[in-house]
Structure 1
Amino acid sequence: MTNKNEYWQYRDYCWNTKGIYFRYNKDGSSNQYFLHINDGFTLYDKNGTLRNGSALWSIKNDSTFVFDDLEYKIEKITNKEILLSYYNPEFKDKKCFVKLSKWIDGPEGPKPLNNQDKHEKI
């Protein structure tokens, strides 16, 4: 679940996907965002229709992150990062990794949680 002003940056190392951010809601839905230099986080808009709550997420058996129809093994989880893995048949069943890194949209703009001032309360 994502708290107010928190976002998870999604990075898939097999597909070299980056620049996508998610908020995971209590009801199991999610929202996708982009980070723009001047505007901060903006809700993903595809052809004029906002993608709000369209992808569902859940945790299965305390070790699997389910996102839409995809299942990821939870390799590591901290309050700043989540490391997931999956096997991709397009890469001859290569084990692929996805990292979710927490970002905070604070008074000085969006920053990765790792870069927050250690004295700042979050």
Structure 2
Amino acid sequence: MKKYKFLLVFLLVLSISCTRKNKIEDIFITSENYYWQFNSECQGAFGHSINFKFDKDGLSHQYGFSVEKSYHSVEGESLAPKKWFIKNDSILSWDDMDYKIEHIDATIIILSRYHPIDKKQKCKISFLKVVDGKLIN
């Protein structure tokens, strides 16, 4: 009887854990006209807007934005889609790097990781949800 109780508790915890992970993934995944605008404390945007879409298939795609072209893919031979997934309900694994999820909601995601060269420097990365080049409130 103890085995069955343990198994039941284990299955309950597992289902709750998987449900939370799916909700976090759902926030990253954007609908057709929405994008995540990328900002980093440790690397600038080099004077232009960098935007991403995270697909439910586990790939992210990079887009530029300009008034003339609106959103346009910047992927090509040298820039390919990046793999992503959520692990342990608090880590974004993206392009073979791990980012701690500091905050997440429907309009902003804040991540952190240590600088690849200066391991003492903690870098904050933010994604702001945008549509037509405008932030969502």
Q: 1:50 Cα shift?
A: 8.6
Question: Hey, what's the Cα distance between the residues in 2 that align with 1:55 and 1:104?
Answer: 22
Alignment partner of 1:13 out of 32, 36, 41: 41
Secondary structure, counterpart of 2:117 in structure 1: helix
Displacement after TM superposition at 1:10 (Å): 0.7
Structure 1 runs (4+) greater than 6 angstroms displaced: none
Distance in 2, Cα, partners of 1:80 & 1:97: 16
- Opposite residue 41 of structure 2, the aligned amino acid is Y
| TM-score (normalizing by structure 1) | 0.79
CA distance in 1, matches of 2:60, 2:96: 14
1:63 CA displacement: 0.1
Q: 1:1-22 CA deviation, whole Å, 9 max, x = no partner?
A: 1111010011111112362100
* Residue 125 (structure 2) pairs with residue 113 (structure 1): no
TM-score in terms of structure 2 length:
0.71
Q: By how many angstroms is 1:40 displaced?
A: 0.5
Q: In 2 relative to 1, CA 45–68 (structure 1 residues): closer, same or farther, beyond 3 Å?
A: closer
* Aligned residue among 104, 112, 115 for 2:131: 104
Following superposition, the deviation at residue 91 of structure 1 comes to: 2.4
- Distance in 1 (CA, whole Å) between partners of 2:54 and 2:123 is 22
Q: Does 1:28 align with 2:28?
A: no
Distance 2:56 2:78 in 1: 19
Question: Match for residue 79 of structure 1?
Answer: 106
Greater CA radius of gyration, 1 or 2? 2
Q: How far is 1:112 from its partner? A: 1.1
**Percentage of matched positions with identical amino acids:** 36
- Report the counterpart of residue 22 of structure 2 in structure 1: none
Contact 1:31 1:51 in 2 (8 A): no
Give ranges in structure 2 of 5+ residues lacking alignment.
1-28
- How many residue pairs get aligned? The number is 107
CA RMSD in angstroms, aligned pairs only: 1.8
Q: Which amino acid aligns with 2:64?
A: F
Contact 2:61 2:75 in 1 (8 A): no
The structure in which a higher percent of residues are helix is: 2
